Structures are given as C-alpha cells and as structure tokens.
Amino acid sequence: MNSFIYDIPVKVYFGENQLSHLGEELLPLGKRVLLTYGGGSIKKTGLYDAVTAELNKAGLEVFELPGIEPNPRIDSVRKGARMCKEHHIDVLLAVGGGSTIDAAKFMAAGACVEHDPWEFLAKPETPIDKALPIVSILTLSATGSEMDCGGVISNPETLDKIGRMARPLLPRVSFLDPTLTYTVSRYQTACGSADMMSHILEEYFTMEHDLYMLDCMMEGLMKTIVKYTPAAMAEPKNYEARANLMWASSWAINGFICGGKRQAWSCHPIEHELSAIYDITHGHGLAIITPRWMEHCLDETTLFKYVQFGVNVFGIDSRLSPMEIARESIRRLSGFLFDTLELPSTFTALGIGREHFPAMARKACAGGVLPGFKPLRQADIEKIFEMCL
Ligand code: NZQ
Ligand code: ZN
C-alpha cells in the first residue's frame, strides 16, 4: 500500500433534529451569512423556514442567493462571490444537493480574490489558497460534496464542465439529516445512487492488488447502495434506507477509500463532457457510461477485478469461469442501474446523438491519454460513446 495522509476535518451532525446546532456552529465563523440554495425544493419541503428560524434565533444577519442550477453555472458562482464582497459575508450556508454545495465552494473562494472565479476552473494552476468558511445542509444523497473538497462548475458559453479540488473548499460543518431526503424524487434517488456507485467503482477498479482492507470497505458501501436504493424508491420515508444511503454518499468520496491509491478516474471525466453539452443529470450519464466502460476495459489482465466485484458485491457463483463471472458482473450492474433503478439505459433515450462524440472524447482525454484503470485514448472513448447509443 502506498503512503498517504488521511485528514478529513469536516464536522458532521448526522440524524434528525440536528439543525438546533446550526446557530452555535455558525456564530464562531461570523455574523453575516450568505444563505444559498437551489430552485425551490427547500421552500416546498419547509426546510427553508426551519433554517431561517434557526438563523434568526442565533441573531445572524442573512443574505440570500437562491436559484443555483443543477450542473451549477459559473454565472451563479460569480454572483455569489460578488455578493460576498459587497455584503462583507463571513460564512456561506449551502442548503441543497451537490450543485448548491459545489457552487458555494467556488463563491467562497471567489470572494477572496480579485479575478474571475472561472479562472479557478479554466486555469488549474490558479491557486486556491483560501476561501470563506462553508457550512452545508445536505438534501440529496449523491455527490459527497458535503464531505469533500471538490466541486464541479459548468460554463455554457464555452461548453465546459470542470471540476477542481482544493483543501480550503472543504465544508467546516455538514448537517446530514436523512429525513431531508424523503422528498427526493425516485429519479433523483436513482441518479444519486448511480453517482455514489460510480465514485466507489472509480476507486475499486484498480490494477493495484494490495488494498484488501479498502476493497472490503468499498464492497460494503456498494452492497449498501444495492440493498437500500430500491427500498428508498419504494418507500421514500424509510429512515433506515435514507440514512444508509446518506452516510454511504459521504464515505464514497470523502478521501477514505482512496487512501494509498494512485489512480485517476475514468467515467467521471467522460461524463462531465456529456453534461457540459447536454445538461443531463450527472448520475444518469454515469449509469449509462459505466457498464459500457467496464465492457471496453475487460481483458485477461483486468479480469481479476471483475471477478472480485461480481462475487463479493453481487454474490455471483465463484465456481463459474472467471470470464463468465466477469460478464455476469456487468450484466448484474446493468440490471441494477437500468431495471431496479429504472434509469433509461441509452444516450438515445436522452436525445443524445453521435454528433459531438469526437470533440467530447478529445476533451475527455485532453487530446492524449486518459489515465485510470485502463488508459483510454480518444478512439477508446469514442467507442465507449458508440456503445452507449
Ligand atoms: O434545486 P432544487 O429545487 O433544490 O431541486 C434539486 C434539483 O432539481 C432537487 N433536490 C435536491 N434535494 C431535494 C430535491 N428535490 C426534492 N427534495 C429534496 N430534498 O434535485 C435536483 C438535483 O439537485 P443537484 O444538487 O443538482 O443534484 P446532485 O446532488 O446530484 O449534484 C449534482 C452536481 O454535483 C456534481 C455533478 O457534476 C453535478 O453538477 N458533482 C460534484 C462532486 C463533488 N463535489 O465532489 C462529485 C460528483 O462526482 C459530481 O460531479
Ligand atoms: Zn459523481
């Protein structure tokens, strides 16, 4: 196992009725709060009223930025950074899914510099040395943004969707109340689980052989997703299911399971090119791409990982031949994503044709090689896209 540093300093309040701690967590960070949220789900669910009641009780001065889009746009980030400067904001409070939390992260960093926040994304050498403190209240189990230092921002003018990680973007505190996800639609629940599954698969499918303990943890997380997503879809107010999914979403990407690995991701950079142009739901794009990517990467050298995955996660009979197990593991994952989670299984179903395949594939590998489980060139990525049609 390679050497690594493990340090995840996000304080998590997990469970029901934890919002009573909101004021005591915000006050030491400052009195002027920028409350940012998405397209209105928090108003429908009553969460907005609950949050503002807590903020008022704590005597905080609140400024609001609603309307953060799914696949958040750089213009929203710019607006938030401007508001932070104009109103001398001390702390950002992001209430929502990954899109709202991601946008808040780059507003928080943008508030500390004079340049356009898009430079953080377009020019990765631009330092992110500091950011205003961020507190998050998560309403959708999916991205893990509540416990990681990453964010992904779209720029519709350049058709780019770019991610970046930087330590100052870590939320200081995150509130994870599974009951806040009771209202998440079947579709978003399914997409969220597909996203989590992908975060784990991106780490799990590696050629490194000496990560037994982490492999077991990842298999446990994947089994949790397979077990509880159908339960949450069938019964949206199933606390046990929502709670297991929520905690799994954070642990799928909070840095723990990648300890010791030196592997780049494959499906995410490919998917980001897709949602940059078509503005689709990230988890759905991943659901379509992942089984095709697995199919493309399967050969005698990579076979062992498919066998381990199929037997330990889906309980496939280990007496079958390795290649049979590998093929069955792809079938079982596809069955989970497309039958159990009911996600349409092709680009065609999402209205996506092949017209942008060459450009998207070129961008995904930056004109060279996309490193990862199996290095992919433009032609490989185009082939994977073709399989998704
Ligand atoms: O905007 P509102 O009205 O709140 O509605 C949202 C939105 O329409 C709705 N929703 C959220 N919580 C709800 C709810 N509806 C009812 N009840 C609730 N409790 O769900 C819709 C999707 O929300 P969004 O925040 O876009 O979803 P998600 O959490 O999946 O975030 C996706 C974004 O995160 C990025 C993705 O690329 C995408 O832009 N990612 C961020 C990562 C990170 N920070 O590390 C990693 C991921 O791989 C991912 O790339
Ligand atoms: Zn993701």
Is 193 touching ligand 1 by the criterion CB < 6 Å?
Answer: no
Give tens-digit pLDDT for 222-253: 999 999 999 999 999 999 999 999 999 999 99
Is 188 touching ligand 1 by the criterion CB < 6 Å?
Answer: yes
Name the residue of 41, 196, 268 whose CB sits within 8 Å of the most ligand 1 atoms, as the mutation to test its pocket.
Answer: 41
Residue 44 pLDDT exceeds 90: yes
Pull the structure tokens for residue 281: 């739901």
At 263, is the pLDDT very low, low, confident or very high (cuts 50, 70, 90)? confident
Q: DSSP string covering 270-283, please?
A: HHHHHHHHH---HH
Is 367 touching ligand 1 by the criterion CB < 6 Å?
Answer: no
Is 46 touching ligand 1 by the criterion CB < 6 Å?
Answer: no
Rg of the chain on CA atoms, in Å: 20
Is 249 touching ligand 1 by the criterion CB < 6 Å?
Answer: no
Question: Cα(320) to centroid of ligand 1, in Å?
Answer: 40
> If you count DSSP H runs as helices and E runs as strands, how many of each does the chain have, helices first?
15, 8
Question: Cα(244) to centroid of ligand 1, in Å?
Answer: 18
Residue 187 pLDDT exceeds 90: yes
Question: Cα(50) to centroid of ligand 2, in Å?
Answer: 29
At 261, is the pLDDT very low, low, confident or very high (cuts 50, 70, 90)? confident
Question: Cα(244) to centroid of ligand 2, in Å?
Answer: 18
Which ligand has its closest atom nearest to the C-alpha of 187?
1
Question: Which atom belonging to ligand 1 lies closest to the Cα atom of 165?
Answer: 45
At 45, is the pLDDT very low, low, confident or very high (cuts 50, 70, 90)? very high
Question: Which atom belonging to ligand 1 lies closest to the Cα atom of 100?
Answer: 25
The residue whose C-alpha atom lies closest to atom 21 belonging to ligand 1 is 70
Residue 278 pLDDT exceeds 80: yes
More confident residue, 263 or 202: 202
Question: Cα(98) to centroid of ligand 1, in Å?
Answer: 4
- Tell me the C-alpha distance between 371 and 374, whole Å: 7
Question: Cα(117) to centroid of ligand 1, in Å?
Answer: 21
- pTM > 0.85: yes or no: yes
Give tens-digit pLDDT for 106-148: 999 999 999 999 999 999 999 999 999 999 999 999 999 999 9
Give tens-digit pLDDT for 17-38: 999 999 999 999 999 999 999 9
- Tell me the C-alpha distance between 299 and 335, whole Å: 22
Q: Report the pLDDT averaged over residues 92-111.
A: 98
Q: What angle do CA 258, 261, 264 make, to 5 degrees?
A: 85
Question: Cα(119) to centroid of ligand 1, in Å?
Answer: 23
Q: In the predicted model, what is the mean pLDDT of the chain?
A: 96
pLDDT at residue 164 in the model: 97
- Look at residue 217 and give its three-state secondary structure: helix
Contacts 24+ apart (CB under 8 A), 376-384: 376/266, 376/296, 380/296, 381/270, 382/357, 382/358, 383/296, 384/270, 384/289, 384/292, 384/293, 384/296
Is 128 touching ligand 1 by the criterion CB < 6 Å?
Answer: no
pLDDT at residue 26 in the model: 98
Say which range, 1-5, 115-119, 152-156, 376-380, has the weakest mean pLDDT: 1-5
Amino acid at 218: M
Is 144 touching ligand 1 by the criterion CB < 6 Å?
Answer: yes
pLDDT at residue 2 in the model: 82
Q: Report the pLDDT averaged over residues 68-83.
A: 98
pLDDT at residue 5 in the model: 87
The residue whose C-alpha atom lies closest to atom 42 belonging to ligand 1 is 143
Question: Cα(138) to centroid of ligand 1, in Å?
Answer: 10
Name the residue of 43, 64, 102 whose CB sits within 8 Å of the most ligand 1 atoms, as the mutation to test its pocket.
Answer: 102
- Tell me the C-alpha distance between 72 and 368, whole Å: 28
At 259, is the pLDDT very low, low, confident or very high (cuts 50, 70, 90)? confident
Is 39 touching ligand 1 by the criterion CB < 6 Å?
Answer: yes
- Tell me the C-alpha distance between 331 and 327, whole Å: 6
pLDDT at residue 338 in the model: 98
Q: DSSP string covering 8-57, please?
A: ---EEEESTT-GGGHHHHHGGG-SEEEEEE-SSHHHHHSHHHHHHHHHHH
